[in-house]
Structure 1
Amino acid sequence: MMSTRTNNAIKNISYNIGYQLLMLVLGFVNRTIFLYFLNVEYLGIQAVFKDILTLLSMADLGLITAMTYSFYKPLAEKNETYISGLVHFYKKVCNVIALVIFLGGLGLIPFLKYVVNLKTDLPHLTLYYLLYLLNTVASYIVVYKTTVLVADQKGYITAKYGSIFNILQNIVLCLFLWLTHNFLVYLIIQVFFTYIYNFVVSAIASKEYPYINEKVSLAKDDIRGLFDNIKAVFVYKTSNVLINATDSTLISIIVGTIVVGFYSNYMLVVSKAISLLTTVFNSLTASLGNLIVEEGKAKRYEVFQILQTICSGLSVIVVTLMFFLLQDFIRLWLGKAYLLDTLVLYAIIINLYFSVILLPVWVYREATGLYKQIKYVMLGTAGANLLLSIILGHFIGLPGILFGTVLAKLLTYVWYEPILLFKQFFGHSSRSYFLELLKNIALILVLFLLGSLLSRFLFVTGYLSFICKAFLLLVLSVSCVYIFYRKSTGLRFVKAKFGL
């Protein structure tokens, strides 16, 4: 079982990293061509619509996470009848959610003019929004089947086909942008490929688990238990969306939609880095779910220590590279006109750090069902984020909105969620976790000092000097991480696993 779990985890990580790297390259190519043929206003609209539809998708929040969690035990026990019952139940729920999102999206059309803040009106704004809405609804048509693949540690299958369809989509998108310079055609192509991908992956899930097509009804007590889980995750995930998916909307309303376009260029780089790391850890969720079903607290804590050490090292490297290279990259890639001020960079980097350092806690939360206990704390975070972002945004603009999110996180779940995880699932004090966190921050500050000294002597004037600077910073940060963590459980595990 351990060998199977490890092999599946490695396969999921490998495929998903490959998928994210591919998305990284395609994302930059797509964005470069997009900005070459279309105005930055369209970029701002994209970011605002994405936030609106993420908020609309709160209708499903709790479902997909609870769905995945509910499959772990029956898959481990090979209870095909119960799995079929779950799929049949979730199919009904997904159809209802798709309808709710679509109708809710239609209801927001009259309010678009208050959210999109442009100096000049763009034609076909409502039509653009409707296409984004259809693209969002597409995901819920077959997710009740594809979740079985993910829960059964076979997420690499969806990653493989996701890569194929994204390559085809980006080739077609770039070709038609070049030929037509038309944003409407761009969106229609996106919707087409989203629907095709979903139906193909659905067919694969049906072939892999033929029994899930059988109609099996669950007992009323089972359904009641599933709804209890969905409600708990709904509160948690709703709060999480309010924390992470409101910035672009607030920026559009308070500062302007064009600024959202500038900010989205930074977030394209940062979010791709986060996605790459998140993919690694999320690929472990199904394996951890299996581990939690079958192993005790000692084994859970041992695995957590390994993941936390690895993540601490990665956070140092990623944050250091992003802090010293992000502005240079934007300037080289798009030009000085697209640069934002340094205060914005500080806020982005701090939010990036939280997104990386808390990954092991979050992946355990998904695998253990910890969201049930943390849901109201996250609701408090969401409220604090909205209030602080609006207040600070009015005083200092874009940096204020981003620092509002930082403060809201610091005041709530950044300290509370690790304490709860250690108490509930490890049987250990969380004191050691926070001491390691402080040491990690101290190491980052040391690297910031060393990186600042290095930057004084190395000016980026082109891509060659940028690569040299990036290489030196990488060597410096990796060396410091190795020296600092060389005796840790996580680094010893990695060295033993890869024969280093």
Structure 2
Amino acid sequence: MSRTKNSIANSLFGIAGSLLSVVISFVVRFILIKTLGEEINGLHNLFQNITNVLLLMELGISSAMIIHLYEPVTTGDEEQMAGILSFYRTVYRYIALAFFLTSIVVSLFFLKHLVHTTLPFHQVQLYFQLFNLTFVLNYLTNYKRSLLFAAQKNRVSVFFNSVAELTFRIVQILSLLMFKAYLFFLILTIVEKLMSNLLCNRYIDRHYPFLRQTGQELASSKRQAIMTTVKSLMLNNVAGTVQQSSRSLLISMLLGNISIVGYYGNYQLIISVVELIYSQIGGALTSSFGSLAIEKDQQRLQAAYKKAAFVLNWLAAICCAGFLICVQDFIQLLFGEGSLLEFSSVLLLTFGLMLYLLNIPIISLQNALGLHHLDAYYMLLQAGLAVAFGYVGGLVFGMAGIFAGMILPLLWLTVIRKGMVVSAYALGMSHRSYLSFLSYESLKILLVSLVAYFMVSCLGLNLSFMTLIIKAFLVLIVGLTLPAFLSSRQTELAYVWKLLQHRLQKK
């Protein structure tokens, strides 16, 4: 129950922080477009995707550290905790230097081939360097946060993130309105990240005073074990980042000017909201799975996985239906009709979102147990196929072809193959059992989306913010009731009711 409480608390804090971040991000993007124009918006979105590729040099070190911190945190081994974090700090200093130098090389020799803009190129280079400086300084100040995740205190990290984000995003908005300068916007982003990390580090130093002692050396065997974990994580991270970032790059290369990337970026921002919320829940699950795995009880771990997946997939049904039904109205009301994508692209983005959300429980389990070696090379294959299929699809069918081409390898190699391999290794589930569970969960999400879509279509509502609220309410009703009806024979539903009754009785 303590793990469940921690997971719920971390998830709730994470969701609250994510929702706050989402609201602020939309306001900031709206002000950014209105004050600086679509060109800067597209440039900002492209910088994010280029930087995502550069972040591959992190190699998965942070995830590896968390995996190897679970045991010393559980057993209270202060010496090993201090040694791991000291090693982490040293590695991150080298990564920060490598990232800084690489960003300079990209700025000098490659940026001009990726950016098509009317802005002076030296100005674009300056913006790019400032954008990347945020990540350089983050590497130098962020390493202690891993201890909070391993100790199931993710909520502390979220709290300090939210405080810094709320403060500096408000200042960013004021800066855009007063000065209309992208330069000041980027500088404030740097300060925001630094403040968040410094506040978090102060909390950690106060609650874990042994970390301030010097001279803790990590045993060479432990360093080797961490680097072994890193190798598999690196391949997975490379695959994921290439696939995620290549969408914007392919759109920019194949479909025209930088403004089109910005149009896609508006949709991606909404998708990122859902992914951000799920990343908080997934992080809480990873901590719980990692702590539970120390007990080496496979049957109990399988039960925990199924319960978590059941709850998350229920939420996924609401999110996917909400995106499909509300996103076009939201984009049109906020950014104008000229920013809309074709419905075929929206449909494919919804399906891709569904696949991403279905993966969260199994990926959380893989992260917790460090099982990335099971499919590392298949993830590289997936990334290569996604880029190739996306490129061909883009040449033939445009933006919808890019999305469709990149979804196929994800469905085959992550949703199906990764799930079967990890569930068999970690949970002892047969491939047939896993696919049966996954298929039924997917069917529920698809049915909720289809039923909600046809219900809303029959109403024939006109475009307005009130209409958007009505549609969202209908999605919520269908999303809450239909999965409950379809899950009446699943044992996980009884767990949800029991958990709700426990919370109500406590109140």
Name the counterpart of 1:391.
392
User: Which residue of the partner structure matches residue 279 of structure 2?
Assistant: 278
Per the alignment, residue 408 of structure 2 pairs with 407
Give the equivalent residue in structure 2 for 1:13: 11
The offset of 1:358, in angstroms, is 1.3
Partner of 2:139: 140
Q: Conserved in 1, the CA contact under 8 Å of 2:310 and 2:441?
A: no
Match in the other structure for 1:235? 235
Q: Kindly indicate whether the alpha-carbon contact (under 8 Å) linking 2:448 and 2:483 is maintained by their aligned counterparts in 1.
A: no
Q: Is the 8 A contact 2:317 2:479 kept in 1?
A: yes
The aligned amino acid for 2:500 is F
Query: One-letter code of the match for 1:491?
Result: L
The answer to whether the 8 A contact 2:394-2:401 is kept is yes
Q: Which residue of 2 aligns with 1:87?
A: 85
Q: How does 1:159-238 map to 2 (within 5 A)?
A: 159-214=158-213, 215-238=215-238
State yes or no: 1:370 paired with 2:371. yes
Name the SS of the counterpart of 1:460 in structure 2.
Answer: coil
**For residue 465 of structure 1, what is the amino acid of its counterpart?**
T
The amino acid across from 2:144 in the alignment is K
* TM-aligned CA distance change 1:443 to 1:149, over 3 Å: closer
Q: Is the 2:163–2:196 contact (alpha carbons within 8 Å) kept by the matching residues of 1?
A: no
Within-5 A mapping of 1:116-127? 116-118=115-117, 121=120, 124-127=123-126
Once the two structures are TM-superposed, the CA of residue 129 in structure 1 deviates from its matched residue by 0.2
Q: Distance in 1 between matches of 2:406 and 2:210?
A: 45
CA 448–294 in structure 1, closer or farther in 2 if over 3 Å, else same: closer
Partner of 2:332: 331
**2:454 pairs with 452, 473, 478, which one?**
452
Q: What letter corresponds to residue 259 of structure 1 in structure 2?
A: I
Deviation at 1:200, TM superposition (A): 2.2
The alignment status of 1:64 with 2:62, answered yes or no, reads yes
1:78 aligns with 2:76: yes
- Given that 1:289 and 1:367 are in contact with CA atoms closer than 8 Å, whether structure 2 keeps it comes out as yes
Distance 1:399 1:36 in 2: 28
The residue aligned with 1:302 is 303
CA apart distance, 1:20: 0.7
2:151 is aligned to 152
Q: Which of 273-282 and 445-454 deviates more?
A: 445-454
Shift of 1:490: 2.4
Counterpart-to-counterpart distance in 1, 2:456 and 2:153: 44
Contact 1:316 1:440 in 2 (8 A): no
Question: Are the equivalent residues in 1 in contact too, given 2:374–2:422 (CA < 8 A)?
Answer: no
Q: Is the 8 A contact 2:318 2:448 kept in 1?
A: no
- Tell me the distance in 2 between the aligned counterparts of 1:54 and 1:367: 23
Question: Offset at 1:15?
Answer: 1.4
Deviations 1:292-343 (A, max 9, x none): 0124100000001101211222222211121111111111121111101112
| Alpha-carbon distance in 1 for matches of 2:149, 2:43 | 32
Q: TM (normalized to structure 2)?
A: 0.95
CA contact (8 A) 2:100 2:136 kept: yes
SS in 1 for 2:100: helix
**Residue 312 of structure 1 corresponds to which residue in structure 2?**
313
Q: Which residue number in structure 2 is paired with residue 419 of structure 1?
A: 420
CA contact (8 A) 1:328 1:460 kept: no
Runs of 5+ consecutive residues of structure 2 not aligned to the other structure: none
Change in Cα spacing, 1:347 to 1:485, as seen in structure 2 (3 Å) is same
Of 50, 53, 60, the residue aligned with 2:51 is: 53
Gaps of 5+ in 1: none
2:499 corresponds to: 497
Amino acid at match of 1:285: T
Give the drift of 1:26: 0.8
Q: Please say if 1:347 is aligned against 2:345.
A: no
1:205 Cα offset (Å): 1.6
Among the aligned pairs, what percent are the same residue? 26
Q: What is the match of residue 468 of structure 1?
A: 470
Residues 122-180 of structure 1: per-residue CA shift (max 9 Å, x gap)? 66101100101101112211232111111111111111111111110111001111100
The one-letter amino acid of 2:89's match is K
Once the two structures are TM-superposed, the CA of residue 181 in structure 1 deviates from its matched residue by: 0.8
Structure 1 residues 231 and 444: CA distance shift in structure 2, 3 A: closer
Q: Deviations over 1:196-240 (max 9, x none)?
A: 222222222222211122221122222222211111211111111
Q: 1:440 to 1:226 in 2, by over 3 A?
A: closer
Cα 1:305–1:140 shift into 2, 3 Å = same
CA distance in structure 1 between the aligned counterparts of 2:228 and 2:437, rounded to whole angstroms: 36
Residue identity matched to 2:494:
R
TM-score by length of 1: 0.96
Contact 2:317–2:446 (CA<8 Å) still a contact in 1?
no
Aligned to 1:130: 129
Matched letter for residue 89 of structure 1: F
Deviation at 1:28, TM superposition (A): 1.4
Cα distance in 2 for partners of 1:315, 1:297 equals 26
CA contact 1:309–1:489 (8 Å) conserved in 2: no
SS of 1:412's partner is helix
**2:32 match:** 34
Whole-angstrom CA distance in 2 between matches of 1:126 and 1:390: 27
Between 289-298 and 393-402, the greater mean CA deviation after superposition: 393-402
Q: What SS does the corresponding residue of 2:26 show, helix, strand or coil? A: helix
Greater mean deviation of Cα atoms: 281-290 or 6-15: 6-15
State the secondary structure of the residue aligned to 1:358.
helix
